[in-house]
């Protein structure tokens, strides 16, 4: 069974309590359960992880390149700052889908630039936890179409 890696960056472990007006009340565990259902419905396994550490996220992106059929990435604040994550993403030959709970374009101007988007095939943002299910479908479509990083 092909595996989708879903990697989550800093502060996403605080979902449900952190700025609920922006991020909602769903916890990361809720989103993982929702994502697992979406993966199962499409015949994918799921490797779902979260870290607050940039280097760990880089290591996991590299691992995804070896072990996953596609990568779904919510890099959190690293989206807007990390050249290291961009460089790791550019080394991948699998589809990459960027996902965000909020819509960065409607937030502070420093959130308008995404280094992840420079390597991703697409972006899903502003749909809360439902965006992860949309990202799973997008990843499945990219895999089926043979689109790669």
Q: What is the phi/psi pair of residue 50, to 5°? A: -140, 140
**Quick check: helix, strand or coil at residue 133?**
helix
Kindly report the CATH number assigned to the domain that includes residue 18.
3.40.50.9100
**Catalytic choice (78, 80, 100, 112):** 100
Q: What is the phi/psi pair of residue 5, to 5°? A: -90, 130
Q: Is the pLDDT of residue 112 over 60?
A: no
DSSP3 helix / strand / coil % (the chain, rounded to 5): 50, 15, 35
User: Is 78 in the active site?
Assistant: no
User: Is 23 in the active site?
Assistant: yes
Separation between Cα atoms, residue 52 and residue 50, nearest integer Å: 7
pLDDT at position 107: 63
List pLDDT tens digits, range 120-136: 999 999 999 999 999 99
Domain tally, the chain: 1
Tokens 């595996």 sit on residue:
3
pLDDT range class, residue 70, cuts 50, 70, 90: very high
Q: Is the pLDDT of residue 149 over 70?
A: no
List pLDDT tens digits, range 5-62: 999 999 999 888 676 777 778 899 999 999 999 999 999 999 999 999 999 999 999 9
Q: Is the pLDDT of residue 137 over 60?
A: yes
pLDDT range class, residue 106, cuts 50, 70, 90: low
68 or 108, greater pLDDT: 68
Residue 56 CB coordination number (10 Å): 14
pLDDT at position 11: 92
* Domain region containing 60: 3-145
List pLDDT tens digits, range 73-100: 999 989 988 999 999 999 999 999 999 9
pLDDT at position 21: 73
């Amino acid at each position: 069974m092909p595996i989708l890696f879903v990697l989550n960056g800093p502060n996403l472990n605080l979902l449900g309590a952190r700025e609920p007006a922006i991020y909602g009340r769903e916890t990361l565990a809720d989103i993982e359960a929702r994502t697992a259902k979406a993966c199962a419905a499409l015949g994918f396994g799921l490797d779902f992880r979260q870290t607050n550490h940039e280097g760990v996220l880089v290591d996991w992106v590299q691992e995804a390149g070896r072990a996953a059929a596609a990568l779904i990435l919510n890099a959190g604040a690293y989206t807007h700052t990390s050249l290291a994550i961009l460089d790791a993403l550019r080394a991948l030959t699998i589809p990459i889908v960027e996902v965000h709970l909020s819509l960065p374009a409607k937030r502070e101007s420093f959130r308008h630039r995404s280094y992840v988007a420079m390597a991703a095939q697409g972006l899903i943002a502003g749909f809360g936890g439902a965006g992860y299910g949309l990202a799973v479908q997008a990843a499945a479509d990219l895999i089926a179409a043979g689109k790669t990083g």
